[in-house]
Structure formats: structure tokens, C-alpha cells
């Protein structure tokens, strides 16, 4: 496809503007994708609200959006295995493939990785078309739609958290935060056979969704203390604790929720680069802390889990917005967190 396309561009704090750009054409090894669905991520909202996220700072216009599902609309030289019209999920970060981390299989840690919707790396996909390295695109089976294709990205975050902490059947788990990522961790743990899962948040709608997806019990932290409850669990805490909110309060709580020799996994990304940990409690428990950076080698596994029905991915979606309402969609997602669990842009 050639011609012009519309794109929604972040030009400053809470400043989104419509622009017209040339439709990008695929080079060697690339495919062009016509976007059909793009998830709205918490990181998009952080960039929109603050103009920064962790160590990334907005210094020039940036197209947001990094959770894309679409259909192949053009194929570059040397690409095999794709046809025009194929539904695809796009893994948004493209590594160099040559460095030591890439060669070891830890391509998510590549120093030269180029991620969608990250300043100085690549524009995102709040646009009608994009191009992407074919090696990081995955064909979707007949039973999996492009909305789920876009949601494979946050699902892989949840799967990576469950995998890196080696969550096992028979363990107990506590999840702090039941937004999109918390729910993806919940579904990933359930798929691994973890049945006793407790979820805490401050928003009832999100907790209701966690209950629907199989949480054993949910806690609204404005009314109940997850710390007091955890002390009454066998061993005085949970085997696994997952911080999925990315804030100071929940990060500080984590070490007080594990049993002895328990594990804490920091899944959430904080807009602040420095947070506190209760190291004294962690030491006394001989707890282990896992950190994680995105995910790796998980897209095929995630797609199969959705296709089989093991992970009911569509159930995390609460709101669908038309692309023409992209500006309002981000503003509403920021201001109406009590109602919007996961928003998706539909083209």
C-alpha cells in the first residue's frame, strides 16, 4: 500500500496531534502491516501524562502505541512465510541479533534493541500502517483475531513474570495491582497450575475482573489489609508475590507478603526510577527478588495458549475506541481508571 496515512502524535505533555504521513514501505526483510487493533498500555499513559517513563524522556514528537495486531499489506524483499492478508501479531522490539545478549537468547536485553513508541528508538503504531522486521511478526491462527494479536504483547509480560519466578502448581501467589499486567500475570499463573491466587488493588472494577478470571480472593486495599491477611497464610506469607502496579506503596509492601524463602517478582514499571525496598524484612525471610525487562521467546507460546483457550485473553478488554477518537481514548483512559481496565484502539 502506498499513499498517505493518519497518525496520532504526542508532541508534549498531554498534547496529541493528528498528522498526515507517507505510508512506510517495507525494505528488505520487512513487512508492511495495516493496523486493525492496538492496545493502550500504561506506559503510553505515563508518556502522555508526564512526558517520560523511567529513564526515557520525550524530547521530540513520538507516535505512541506498541501492542499491535493487523494484517499484512505488503511484503519486502527476501521475506518468506507471509501472504498479503495474513493476520499477524507484532513483537514490538527488534533486537540487533548479533550482540552477546542476542546470541545467548536474551534478546530483550540487547543494547541496540529498537522498541516501538520509545524516544530515540522507534515511533509507535497509533497510525494506520507500520513496517516491521518479519522475524518479529507472527501469523495468527484462524481462531485468534487481531484484537487478541495486539494483546499478546502484555500477555507475554505476564508469562515472563510467571516463568522467571518458576511459579509451580501447589504454590500460593499474591498479585499487587489488577490492571492489564496484573490480570495477565493472573492468567499466566492459572495456566501454569497455580490455583491459590490473591489479588489486591484499590479499584473495585479491576478486582471484579480478577475474580472473574479465577482469583481465589480479592482485596480492596483502601478497605482491607493484604499484609494482615498474608500473615495468616501457612508459613506467614505467600510463595510468590508479583508487584504489577509500579508504585512506591506496593513495591515497599512486597517483602512483607512472602513466606520464608519466598519470591518477589517486580513486574510493574514505575514512572519513578528510584523506589524503596524493605531489605531488612527480605533478609530475615531469605527472600529472592526477580526483576524483569519485557519478555523473550514467548510469542509463539502465548499465541498457542490463546488459541487453545487456556488463556481467555479477550476478557481483560473493558473498552474499545475507534482510531478517529484516539486523543479522547488516551485522555479518558487516564482520567477514568475506575472504569477502564484495558482499552483498545480499533481501526
The closest alpha carbon to 202, from 145, 244, 157, 258, belongs to 244
Strand runs labelled E in the chain: 4-12, 15-22, 30-39, 52-53, 56-57, 62-63, 68-75, 87-90, 93-94, 114-115, 129-133, 137-139, 172-176, 196-201, 217-220, 238-243, 258-266, 288-291, 319-322, 343-346
Residues 51, 55, 61, 63, CA torsion sign: negative
Q: Tell me whether residue 77 is exposed, middle or buried, using C-beta atoms within 10 angstroms of its C-beta: 0 to 12, 13 to 18, 19 or more.
A: exposed
What are phi and psi for residue 216, nearest 5 degrees?
-65, -45
User: For the segment 283-310, what is each residue's pLDDT rounded down to a tens digit?
Assistant: 999 999 999 999 999 999 999 999 999 9
Q: What is the pLDDT of residue 18?
A: 97
Every domain of the chain and the residues it spans: 4-139+317-346, 158-291
The 3-state secondary structure of 24-48, one letter per residue: CCCCCCEEEEEEEEEECCHHHHHHH
Q: What is the pLDDT of residue 261?
A: 98
The closest alpha carbon to 239, from 264, 275, 214, belongs to 264
Q: What is the pLDDT of residue 52?
A: 83
Classified by CATH at the fold level, domain 158-291 comes out as: Rossmann fold (3.40.50)
Q: Are 140 and 91 in contact (CB under 8 A)?
A: no
Query: How does DSSP assign 147-190, residue by residue?
Result: HHHHHHHHHHHHHHHHHHTT--TT-EEEEE--SHHHHHHHHHHH
Q: What is the pLDDT of residue 274?
A: 87
Classified by CATH at the fold level, domain 4-139+317-346 comes out as: Quinone Oxidoreductase; Chain A, domain 1 (3.90.180)
Q: What is the pLDDT of residue 67?
A: 98
User: For the segment 119-173, what is each residue's pLDDT rounded down to a tens digit?
Assistant: 999 999 999 999 999 999 999 999 999 999 999 999 999 999 999 999 999 999 9
Exposure on the CB side of residue 242, measured as CA atoms within 13 A:
35
CA distance 294 to 45: 17
Q: Tell me whether residue 128 is exposed, middle or buried, using C-beta atoms within 10 angstroms of its C-beta: 0 to 12, 13 to 18, 19 or more.
A: buried
Give the residues of the chain that fall short of pLDDT 50: none
Q: What is the pLDDT of residue 50?
A: 87
Amino acid at each position: 500500500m502506498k499513499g498517505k496515512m493518519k497518525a496520532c502524535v504526542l508532541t508534549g505533555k498531554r498534547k496529541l496531534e493528528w498528522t498526515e504521513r507517507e505510508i512506510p514501505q517495507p525494505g528488505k526483510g520487512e513487512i508492511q502491516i495495516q493496523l486493525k487493533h492496538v492496545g493502550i498500555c500504561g506506559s503510553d499513559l505515563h508518556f502522555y501524562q508526564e512526558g517520560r517513563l523511567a529513564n526515557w524522556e520525550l524530547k521530540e514528537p513520538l507516535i505512541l502505541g506498541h501492542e499491535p495486531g493487523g494484517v499484512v499489506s505488503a511484503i519486502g524483499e527476501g521475506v518468506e512465510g507471509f501472504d498479503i492478508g495474513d493476520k499477524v501479531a507484532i513483537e514490538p522490539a527488534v533486537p540487533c541479533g548479533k550482540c552477546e545478549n542476542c546470541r545467548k537468547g536474551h534478546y530483550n536485553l540487547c543494547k541496540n534493541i529498537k522498541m516501538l513508541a520509545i524516544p530515540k528508538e522507534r515511533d509507535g503504531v497509533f497510525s494506520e500502517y507500520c513496517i516491521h522486521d518479519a522475524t518479529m511478526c507472527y501469523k495468527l491462527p484462524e481462531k485468534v483475531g487481531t484484537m487478541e494479536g495486539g494483546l499478546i504483547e502484555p500477555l507475554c509480560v505476564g508469562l515472563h513474570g510467571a516463568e522467571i519466578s518458576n511459579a509451580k502448581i501447589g504454590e500460593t501467589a499474591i498479585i499487587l495491582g489488577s490492571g492489564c499486567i496484573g490480570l495477565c500475570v493472573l492468567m499466566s499463573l492459572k495456566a501454569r497450575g497455580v490455583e491459590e491466587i490473591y489479588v489486591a488493588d484499590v479499584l473495585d472494577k479491576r478486582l471484579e475482573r480478577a475474580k472473574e478470571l479465577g482469583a481465589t480472593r480479592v482485596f480492596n486495599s483502601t478497605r482491607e489489609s493484604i499484609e494482615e491477611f498474608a500473615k495468616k497464610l501457612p508459613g506467614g506469607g505467600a510463595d510468590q508475590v508479583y508487584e504489577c502496579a509500579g508504585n512506591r506503596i506496593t513495591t515497599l509492601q512486597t517483602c512483607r507478603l512472602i513466606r520464608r524463602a519466598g519470591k518477589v517478582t517486580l513486574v510493574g514499571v514505575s514512572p519513578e526510577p528510584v523506589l524503596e525496598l524493605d531489605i531488612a524484612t527480605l533478609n530475615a525471610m531469605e527472600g529472592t527478588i526477580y526483576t524483569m525487562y519485557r519478555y523473550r521467546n514467548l510469542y509463539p507460546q502465548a499465541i498457542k495458549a490463546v488459541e487453545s483457550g487456556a488463556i481467555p485473553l479477550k476478557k481483560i478488554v473493558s473498552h474499545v475506541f475507534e482510531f478517529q477518537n484516539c486523543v479522547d481514548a488516551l485522555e479518558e483512559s487516564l482520567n477514568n481508571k475506575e472504569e477502564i481496565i484495558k482499552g483498545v484502539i480499533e481501526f
